[in-house]
């Protein structure tokens, strides 16, 4: 089989390489920026600027870091699949892939939760029970995992430049066509879940919350619920003299994100309106609770 037809031209390989380096550099810069802001937060402690600093970290992480992870994986995949470098030909390439795969795994083991948790607690004005202690734990975890990610990306840069260990001693040479088919299947699976999850959450996060005329609502307790992805969020809204006097959450998901979102309830009571700003970092559950309150008042 002529494997050359599966290879990119020299010019396209050069472009792909520079795109890969640019993405890695963007990731490196964003991690340094996050670490700088975290260090700044550590110096000033919890203050009026806490939420703004957490929001900056959250935006850098949610937009630059997250998408850089995916793009770094994709460009590395195409560089391995459609050039003579391959995936396992050199020891240093294997080391790069280990580093590239470790980076998103840090998000799954708590990096993303710590970043989202900090901004959610700060946006909720620390009204949750033991919020400050929990915030400090998340802050420490954010620093450690950001440093680990920064070290990994620096090691990846050094490995790419030095190219240590040379070529592996291979007893067999994989068929390029089979390798491409398997690799493309892995790539599709890798991308399919986050893309589907993104559009699903986007629909929920953008669902409208309608204003309700409280003057027309008599005193009493009203039940409301909202189904999100098969889970039903339930609330009980108490009305007294056309004023929302209390809101009890009867059913919520048992997760940290869902608990952070409960800070939206005092915001609804304060504004006397279900249509308020969602809790940053816990937007989906916030919108579910807001919609449940609207449904209760719309009966």
Provide the whole-model pTM: 0.84
Q: List the structure tokens of 297.
A: 């008042």
Query: What is the predicted pLDDT for the residue at 166?
Result: 67
Query: What is the predicted pLDDT for the residue at 274?
Result: 93
Q: Please give the C-alpha separations between residue 87 and each of 27, 92, 113, 283, 297, in angstroms, as whole numbers.
A: 22, 10, 31, 39, 58
Q: What is the per-residue pLDDT across 229-238, written as a single tens digit (0 to 9) for each? A: 889 999 999 9
> What is the C-alpha separation between 287 and 204, in angstroms, rounded?
7
Range scoring the smallest mean pLDDT among 50-54, 130-134, 202-206, 266-270: 202-206
Q: What are the chain's domains?
A: 3-205 (no CATH), 214-297 (3.90.1010.20)
- The HSE-up count of residue 52 (CA atoms within 13 Å, CB side) is 5
Q: What is the number of other CB atoms lying within 10 angstroms of the CB of residue 219?
A: 11
Query: What is the predicted pLDDT for the residue at 91?
Result: 84
In this predicted structure, the answer to whether residue 46 has a pLDDT above a threshold of 90 is: no
Query: What is the predicted pLDDT for the residue at 150?
Result: 95
In this predicted structure, the answer to whether residue 176 has a pLDDT above a threshold of 70 is: no
Of 153, 148, 141, residue with least CA distance to 111: 141
Range scoring the smallest mean pLDDT among 106-120, 132-146, 177-191: 177-191
Query: What is the predicted pLDDT for the residue at 135?
Result: 93
- Confidence class of residue 86 from pLDDT cuts 50, 70 and 90? confident
Contact 288, 253 (CB under 8 A): no
The predicted model gives 169-189 an average pLDDT of 67
Query: What is the predicted pLDDT for the residue at 285?
Result: 92
Higher pLDDT, 299 or 15: 15
Contact 52, 40 (CB under 8 A): no
The predicted model gives 88-99 an average pLDDT of 85
β partners of residue 239: 220, 244
The predicted model gives 201-208 an average pLDDT of 82
Query: What is the predicted pLDDT for the residue at 25?
Result: 93
In this predicted structure, the answer to whether residue 160 has a pLDDT above a threshold of 90 is: no
The predicted model gives 33-49 an average pLDDT of 88
In this predicted structure, the answer to whether residue 104 has a pLDDT above a threshold of 90 is: no
> What is the C-alpha separation between 195 and 65, in angstroms, rounded?
16
Contact 23, 72 (CB under 8 A): yes
Of 291, 102, 84, 106, residue with least CA distance to 179: 84
Query: What is the predicted pLDDT for the residue at 2?
Result: 47
Contact 24, 153 (CB under 8 A): yes
The predicted model gives 288-298 an average pLDDT of 94
Q: Interhelix angle for 50-59 vs 10-44, to 10°?
A: 170
- Confidence class of residue 35 from pLDDT cuts 50, 70 and 90? very high
The predicted model gives 97-126 an average pLDDT of 89
Higher pLDDT, 38 or 87: 38
Higher pLDDT, 91 or 142: 142
Percent of the chain surpassing pLDDT 90:
49
């Amino acid at each position: 089989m002529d494997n050359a037809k599966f290879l990119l031209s020299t010019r396209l390989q050069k472009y792909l390489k520079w795109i890969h380096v640019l993405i890695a550099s963007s990731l490196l810069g964003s991690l340094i920026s996050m670490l700088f802001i975290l260090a700044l937060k550590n110096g000033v402690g919890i203050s009026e600027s806490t939420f703004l600093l957490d929001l900056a970290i959250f935006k850098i992480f949610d937009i630059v870091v997250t998408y850089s992870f995916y793009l770094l994986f994709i460009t590395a995949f195409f560089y391995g699949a459609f050039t003579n470098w391959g995936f396992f030909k050199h020891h240093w390439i294997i080391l790069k892939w280990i580093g590239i795969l470790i980076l998103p795994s840090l998000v799954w083991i708590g990096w993303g939760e710590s970043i989202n948790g900090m901004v959610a607690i700060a946006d909720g004005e620390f009204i949750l029970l033991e919020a400050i202690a929990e915030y400090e734990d998340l802050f420490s975890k954010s620093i450690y995992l950001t440093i680990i990610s920064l070290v990994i990306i620096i090691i990846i840069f050094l490995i790419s430049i030095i190219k240590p260990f040379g070529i592996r001693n291979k007893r067999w040479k994989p068929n390029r066509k089979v390798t491409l088919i398997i690799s493309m299947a892995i790539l599709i699976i890798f991308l399919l879940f986050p893309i589907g999850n993104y559009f699903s959450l986007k629909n929920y996060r953008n669902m409208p919350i309608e204003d309700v005329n409280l003057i027309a609502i008599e005193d009493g307790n009203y039940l409301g619920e909202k189904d999100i992805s098969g889970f039903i969020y339930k609330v009980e809204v108490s009305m007294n003299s056309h004023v929302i006097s209390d809101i009890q959450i009867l059913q919520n998901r048992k997760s940290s994100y869902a608990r952070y979102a409960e800070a939206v309830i005092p915001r609804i009571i304060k504004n006397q309106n279900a249509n308020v700003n969602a809790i940053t970092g816990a937007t989906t559950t916030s919108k579910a609770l807001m919609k449940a309150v609207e449904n209760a008042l719309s009966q």
